[in-house]
Amino acid sequence: MTIQNVLAQYGPRESMEYDVVIVGGGPAGLSAAIRLKQLATQQHREVSVCVLEKGSEVG
């Protein structure tokens, strides 16, 4: 099935935009996400961060 057929049959996929996407919700991914948000808060900036985890639980 081609991309065109998939789009015709199911329509466009829902999508969401983030400034940063971190793949993996282990200690490294979670600490990176937390640190990014801390730095953004310190600098009075808004940063949207998404953590993608393939498992059923993060951490």
Question: Which amino acid is located at 44 in the chain?
Answer: H
Residue nearest to ligand FAD (CB): 26
Q: Which two tokens stand for residue 35?
A: 């640190």
CB of 28 to ligand FAD, least distance (A): 3
- Please list every residue from 12 through 31 that binds ligand FAD, using CB under 6 A: 23-29
- Tell me, residue by residue from 40 to 59, as one string, x for binding to ligand FAD by CB under 6 A and - for no binding: ------------xxxx----
User: By CB under 6 A, how many residues form the interface with ligand FAD?
Assistant: 11
How buried is 41 (Cβ within 10 angstroms: 0-12 exposed, 13-18 middle, 19+ buried)? exposed
> How far, in Å, CA of 46 to CA of 34, rounded?
13
